[in-house]
Amino acid sequence: MTTAKGEGVEGSTTAKTGFWNRSHHLDRMTFRELVIAYFQYPAIMGYLLCAAAAIAAFVWRPASPLQTVAAVAVAALVYPLAWYVLHRWVLHSRWMFKVSPLASTWKRIHYDHHQDPNHLEVLFGALHTTLPAIVVATAPVGWLIGGFGGAMAAIATGLLTTCFYEFCHCIQHLAYKPRNKMLAAMKARHMAHHFHDETGNFGITNYFWDRLFGTFYERQERKAKSPTVFNLGYDEEAAKRWPKVAELSGGVVSGHPRQRHRAADHA
């Protein structure tokens, strides 16, 4: 779907220029088109630039080899837990849209993504929300292990891991079924999170914490579809009490995103 302005969901009017002056939907893109779009996306370029800066800072004041390896390993291990915690208890919370100053942030970083899961422009988080979270999740443990150099190594690991996660996230939304059984299962679980029941499968590539906390499921295990899978609980009734998200979105929409696109294309 091509538009003159970038659309998060219906009602968004954030102007875009250049490559991003039109919407990109992953279910209509090839792998090659995704790669081109991915490396041109501002958030990804921001992560890579920040990672390069962290690596340069590490080279300036490095930790010892053992400290560096430990900081990188711990940051890589902590990342899936940090993502799980944020995804489950922040992004899928029902308190953010009730706090007016946070409502627009919640809409941008996750509500829009569930409203239209295959829309590339709203798949990535906003840098002003993701960068602080990455630093908080990785820098303290890196500092405890190796001081300044350890912190820089951990931050760089968090940033590069984010790029990896985001690319895997994009691939999961492409219109294809991976031949590899592990990748196919990973995609199926994430698609179930988006199109069947959003109250489980909070991981992207790692479902260890879902298994540990009892939120892991296979599609066939849950027969009934969640009524809030696309709106995360922000329905007409919620919009009457807390209207900020509805005001920013041009109302409250319902139904499968593909059906909404077809209706818009024929309007």
pLDDT tens digit sequence for 44-90: 999 999 999 999 999 999 999 999 999 999 999 998 999 999 999 99
> Does position 256 have pLDDT exceeding 90, yes or no?
no
Q: If pLDDT is split at 50, 70 and 90, which confidence band does 22 have?
A: low
Q: If pLDDT is split at 50, 70 and 90, which confidence band does 4 have?
A: very low
Each residue of 131-176: pLDDT tens digit? Answer: 999 999 999 999 999 999 999 999 999 999 999 999 999 999 988 7
Distance of alpha carbon 23 from alpha carbon 7, whole angstroms:
7
pTM (predicted TM-score): 0.83
Distance of alpha carbon 50 from alpha carbon 123, whole angstroms:
20
In the chain, domain spans? 25-265
Within 10 angstroms of residue 183's Cβ, the number of other Cβ atoms is 15
Residue type, 90: V
Q: If pLDDT is split at 50, 70 and 90, which confidence band does 259 have?
A: low
Q: Tell me what pLDDT residue 15 has.
A: 42
Each residue of 96-141: pLDDT tens digit? Answer: 999 989 999 999 889 999 999 888 888 887 888 899 999 999 999 9
> Does position 2 have pLDDT exceeding 50, yes or no?
no
Q: What is the CA radius of gyration of the chain?
A: 19
Nearest to 135 by CA among 149, 154, 162: 154
Q: Which residue has the tokens 């029902």?
A: 94
136 phi and psi angles, rounded to 5 deg:
-65, -35
Q: Tell me what pLDDT residue 106 has.
A: 92
DSSP code per residue over 109-134: IIIHHHHSTTBGGGTSPPHHHHHHHH
- Mean pLDDT score, 170-184: 85
- Mean pLDDT score, 168-196: 89
